[in-house]
């Protein structure tokens, strides 16, 4: 039978800086070849002493090992000596008992904790880690519930191995060092910051659930599986989230991925970003940048996108949509729009430089669609905005143009720029209102039904070819 291991660490009176660490049972174990120093700090990692208080034991020496035996053991004995030298080592091994310590820890200590089904809860103050720290034992959990876990130096690391869990409900994970997760990350609130890296390994899993999770001035590399189930926001503020080639980011909600403060945030997708839950949109908002070299797949509902540069695949299915809603999204050669759902331009500036389309429906309500190379759509609907660029747009199914402008050379030039082709067997409807052909060519090989008003400006050309019909239905 497994028993919970708890080490309670409480605040000493001033003037010592202290932290409150409740439910202490997670394993921090150092690589023996590299001295691992865990610095328990108040406001400075260089302070001379730090207090961890409860009852039973005082540590203030160079080396000490505690083994808690049967369940219920409450003391590990004295921590010998009084040197307080940087590089001191304190080892705690527990098989399920309750261990309490009363301790003054020097400014740099190697702390090895090995336990079974236990939790280290950082509820206030700062736990600073230096060297190479890890968690061992059976299903240990490190919980940040209001305090700060700080990787002090850029070379410092915390390893969360398979079977271990980093749980984050409030507070801060910070510092320039790295957190490597091959186990599980459960993140419901709190901020990852400090300029370092958090890496989810290929076998790791992360769940972003609950409230607001913030990535600030830090890089998150996902090589595993992230499940975004939150009803709040995932904020990327002056930070970068890399969904690498083996990474899967699964949005199962209607929440947003937001740049909400500070400098712009970036989401680089080289793997798979998919929406599998929530009928309402999952949105990149606040002009957070999405650069897609992998696949963005709307399997359910709508994915809303703003700025970025992409050479990857955007995929929809019947009843789903991908919407470009703001900023500038550049679709370079290699980018593709595929699937039987809808692609919508609603306020964005979309630059198309060599995209391919397969079975694609485009709905264009506002913004700009700049076509730098030829592109075709099964269905095309424009109710606002401006179609521009030197490329040719061909519609193979049905087309509707109820508002907005198809533009080419809008100066007093001598030649049109760009073309919009209505092939034989295809109907373009101009159902009502005013539409404008400005410096562009419209080639009709099929049928144009015009109940609205088509106005031509500058060097615009309407080419009604042999066998085609222009049916003017208004007065």
Strand partners, 237: 216
The predicted structure's pLDDT at residue 127: 67
Which conformational region is residue 356 in: left (phi greater than 0), alpha (psi within -120 to 50 degrees), or beta? beta
The predicted structure's pLDDT at residue 246: 98
Give 42's pLDDT tier (boundaries 50, 70, 90).
very low
> Could you tell me the two tokens for 440?
């562009």
pLDDT 10s digits, 135-189: 777 777 778 888 888 888 898 888 899 998 999 999 999 999 999 999 999 999 9
Instruction: Check residues 206 and 79 and name the one with the higher pLDDT.
Output: 206
pLDDT 10s digits, 233-250: 999 999 999 999 999 999
The predicted structure's pLDDT at residue 121: 67
Say yes or no to pLDDT of 439 above 50: yes
Mean of pLDDT over the chain: 78
Instruction: Check residues 270 and 85 and name the one with the higher pLDDT.
Output: 270
Which one of 283-287, 340-344, 470-474 scores highest in mean pLDDT? 340-344
Least confident of 36-45, 53-62, 152-161, 354-363: 36-45
Please state the pTM of the whole predicted model.
Answer: 0.81
The predicted structure's pLDDT at residue 69: 39
The predicted structure's pLDDT at residue 144: 86
pLDDT 10s digits, 15-26: 322 222 222 332
Instruction: Check residues 471 and 40 and name the one with the higher pLDDT.
Output: 471
371, 393 Cβ separation under 8 angstroms: yes
Which among 441, 337, 353, 357 is positioned nearest to 369, based on CA atoms? 353
Which among 322, 372, 317, 330 is positioned nearest to 346, based on CA atoms? 322
pLDDT 10s digits, 361-418: 999 999 999 999 999 999 999 999 999 999 999 999 999 999 999 999 887 777 889 9
Q: Tell me how crowded residue 424 is: count the other CB atoms within 10 A of its CB.
A: 11
Distance CA 123, CA 270 (A): 36
The predicted structure's pLDDT at residue 134: 78
Q: Give the 3-state DSSP-derived string for 392-454, with helices as H, strands as E and coil as C.
A: EEEEEEEEEECCCEEECCCCCCCCCCCEEEECCCCEEEECCCEEEEECCEEEECCEEEECCEE
The predicted structure's pLDDT at residue 91: 52
Supply the Cα-derived Rg of the chain in whole angstroms. 30
Q: Give the 3-state DSSP-derived string for 148-169, with helices as H, strands as E and coil as C.
A: EEEECCCCCEEEECCCCEEEEE
Give 232's pLDDT tier (boundaries 50, 70, 90).
confident
Rounded to 5 degrees, φ, ψ at 27 are: -90, 120
Which among 46, 39, 40 is positioned nearest to 10, based on CA atoms? 40
């Amino acid at each position: 039978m497994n028993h919970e291991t708890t080490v309670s660490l409480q605040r000493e009176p001033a003037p010592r800086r202290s932290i409150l660490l409740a439910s202490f049972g997670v394993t921090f174990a150092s690589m023996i070849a590299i001295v691992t120093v865990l610095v328990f700090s108040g406001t400075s990692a260089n302070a001379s002493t730090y207090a961890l208080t409860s009852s039973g034991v005082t540590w203030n020496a160079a080396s000490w090992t505690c083994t808690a035996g049967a369940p219920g053991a409450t003391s590990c004995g004295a921590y010998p000596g009084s040197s307080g030298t940087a590089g001191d080592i304190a080892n705690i091994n527990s098989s399920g008992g309750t261990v309490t310590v009363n301790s003054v820890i020097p400014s740099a200590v190697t702390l090895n904790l090995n336990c079974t089904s236990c939790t280290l809860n950082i509820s206030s103050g700062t736990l600073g880690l230096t060297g190479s720290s890890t968690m061992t034992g059976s299903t240990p959990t490190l919980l940040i519930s209001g305090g700060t876990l700080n990787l002090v130096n850029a070379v410092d690391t915390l390893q969360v191995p398979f079977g271990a869990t980093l749980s984050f409900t409030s507070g801060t994970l910070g510092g320039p060092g790295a957190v490597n997760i091959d186990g599980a990350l459960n993140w419901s609130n709190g901020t990852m910051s400090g300029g370092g890296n958090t890496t989810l390994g290929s076998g790791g899993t992360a769940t972003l659930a609950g409230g607001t999770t913030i990535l600030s001035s830090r890089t998150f590399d996902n090589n595993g599986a992230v499940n975004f189930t939150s009803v709040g926001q995932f904020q990327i503020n002056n930070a970068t989230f890399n969904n690498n080639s083996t990474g899967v980011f699964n949005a199962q909600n209607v929440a947003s991925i937001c740049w909400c403060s500070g400098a712009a945030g970036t989401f680089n997708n080289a793997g798979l970003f998919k929406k599998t839950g929530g009928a309402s949109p999952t949105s990149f908002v606040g002009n957070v940048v999405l650069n897609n070299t992998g696949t963005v797949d709307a399997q359910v509902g709508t994915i809303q996108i703003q700025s970025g540069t992409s050479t990857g695949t955007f995929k929809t299915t019947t009843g789903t949509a991908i919407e470009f809603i703001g900023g500038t999204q550049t679709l370079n050669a290699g980018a593709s729009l595929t699937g039987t759902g809808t692609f919508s331009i609603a306020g964005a500036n979309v630059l198309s430089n060599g995209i391919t389309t397969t079975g694609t429906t485009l709905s264009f309500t506002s913004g700009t669609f700049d076509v730098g190379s030829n592109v075709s759509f099964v269905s095309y609907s424009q109710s606002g905005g401006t179609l521009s660029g030197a490329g040719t747009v061909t519609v193979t199914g049905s087309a509707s143009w109820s508002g907005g402008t198809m533009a080419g050379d809008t100066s007093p030039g001598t030649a049109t720029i760009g073309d919009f082709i209505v092939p034989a067997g295809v109907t373009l409807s101009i159902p009502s209102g005013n539409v404008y052909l400005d410096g562009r060519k419209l080639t009709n090989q099929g049928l144009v039904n015009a109940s609205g008003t088509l106005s031509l400006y500058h060097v615009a050309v309407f080419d009604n070819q042999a066998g085609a019909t222009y049916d003017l239905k208004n007065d």
